[in-house]
A = this chain, B = another copy of it.
């Protein structure tokens, strides 16, 4: 039986993710195969025609996915991620909420819904991770 990691430990660890911090992503909570992260939108998240850049949406979802899989207590590396863009973002923030599909001994799969401030789903992300044998001690 593996030990779960607390939300505080996960949040503390993911604050050391320099790229997520650089982009401005905040991990709101994590644990038990789930996670929620937020991105307050600023000008530097936009592309050449003023839309929220796909890389910013991906990075938000990816961080939430990483937190969810690490809540299961073992080191994991992403091996495949996909993102579907469903509609243009409205409002000034994005929320990513993770759902665990399967957490097997080696392979784990999560889906992440990204919603904007109107509550609409703007992107669907799916992440597959390879779980190593080592326990993870944040």
Contact = CB atoms under 8 A, between A and B. Distances in A.
A2 interface: no
Given A80-B82, A84-B80, A16 B48 contact: yes
A65 B76 CA distance: 26
A44 B58 contact: no
A9 to B, nearest CB: 12
Interface residues of A, number: 49
A80 B48 contact: no
A79 B127 CA distance: 12
**Which A-B residue pairs are the 8 nearest by beta carbons?**
A55-B59, A19-B53, A82-B82, A16-B48, A86-B102, A22-B44, A17-B48, A17-B47
